[in-house]
Amino acid sequence: MLKKRVIVIVFLLFSLVFSDFSYAVIEKVEDENIFQNTPAVIVKNNGVENVEDELDEMSSGRVQNLVVEVLSGDKKGKQYNATYTVMAREGSNFEFDILKEGDKVYLTIDERMEEPLVYVSGIQRHNSLLILAIIFLLAILVIGRKQGIKTIISLIITIIIVFFWALPSIINGASPLWVAIGVSSVITILTYIIISGFHKKTIAAILGTVGGLLLSALIVLIFGKAARLSGLNEESMYLAFLPQGTQFDLVEIIFAGIIIGALGACMDMAMSIASALEEIKKENPSANRRTLFKAGMNIGKDVMGTNTNTLILAYVGSSLTILILYMAYGMSFSEIADIEIISEAIIRSLAGSIGLIGVIPLTAFVSSLLYTRDNYEEIEEEDEA
């Protein structure tokens, strides 16, 4: 069982690597006189000076003068005088932290002038994130034990697929929509095989999930175009300046994000129904196709409310700042909904939820077919406990 599972997973991964969506590693393009995201550590704090005259009247700010040492690369060990802009809104009760000696940062080093211009372009946060990730993985192992190991493996594969296949493919010119559909399908198949093995419920869950995602894609295509989404926002405008020179379809990027964002909830719904119907059939072998389908629909209805809330609240949470801003200016709901970024969030929520709802009858129907086929032979025996 394990050997065959590994063979299939390896085959799918090789298919992924050599598929039409696979592209060469992204080439990093930089100006030879400008070094960005250079890791460094602060070795000395030379104090803070006010620079109010250089900022707009709505803000007050200060510049921190630092001595920094480069940690890696050709300039490793070299020290520079650098600046870090500390911004604070007038009348607000917060401001960005003052940097301290020993803090790790990223530098932008501009050597086009006689005296290099060096400033802190970002703060290194990955160490804190790594600690949080370790806590997360330990929680999975403690609670899940053997199943937790499978969960971690599937999570690692998902991350690899997204960051080493999907994103590079899009950056190098592949269609974001088709990449999202392909990536979601591969992630679905690999995750279910790793966690559940080759069983009827795996097939039912895969078909239900992929069907729901395709439904979401169809809804997004229809109503995204009807709403005349352009994809233009503060972040997407920077895509025009990427060194790769790729011409992006911003609307397709929105569609791709919606499909990938709905994947987790669709997978959860499909497996919940498929697993529950499998248990019902085991406890009641005489259950017919109609009985199983009806049970699957009832289970799906119960889970539907919480899962759709999960999707909608996730998108509301990601747009919370902008919602507060617009409501603070007294805009009506219809006026807020007409703003493109909000329209996009609404379509994300509703299209994802419709796809999630579509998973219910699809999974219930496929499960009822598979579990009542007298001539159907189990692909593999259940894993040993």
How far is Cα 151 from Cα 132, in angstroms, rounded to an integer? 17
Per-residue tens of pLDDT for the chain, all 385 residues: 445 555 555 555 555 544 444 444 445 545 567 777 889 999 998 887 766 554 444 444 678 889 999 998 888 899 999 988 876 554 454 555 678 888 999 998 888 887 888 889 888 888 888 899 999 999 999 998 888 888 898 898 898 888 888 888 888 888 888 888 888 988 998 888 888 887 888 999 999 999 998 898 888 888 888 888 777 766 677 777 776 667 788 888 888 888 888 888 899 899 999 999 999 998 888 888 999 999 999 999 888 877 788 778 877 787 788 888 888 888 888 888 888 888 888 888 888 889 889 999 999 999 999 998 754 444 344 444 4
Fold of 2-18+144-371: Multidrug efflux transporter AcrB transmembrane fold (1.20.1640)
Report the distance separating Cα 363 and Cα 274, nearest Å: 7
Per-residue confidence (pLDDT) for residue 96, from 0 to 100: 57
CA-angle at 268, arms to 271 and 342, nearest 5°: 150
- Distance separating alpha carbons of residues 291 and 293, to the nearest angstrom: 6
Neighbours of 22 (CB within 10 A): 15
- CA angle (19 as vertex; 17, 25 as ends), nearest 5: 50
Beta bridge partners, 44, equal 67
CA distances 68 to 4, 13, 106, Å, are: 54, 43, 10
Write down the domain spans for the chain. Answer: 2-18+144-371, 34-124
Q: CB 48: neighbour CB atoms within 10 A?
A: 16
- Predicted local confidence at residue 384, as pLDDT: 41
pLDDT for residue 302:
85
- Residue pair 52/129 in contact (Cβ under 8 Å)? The answer is no
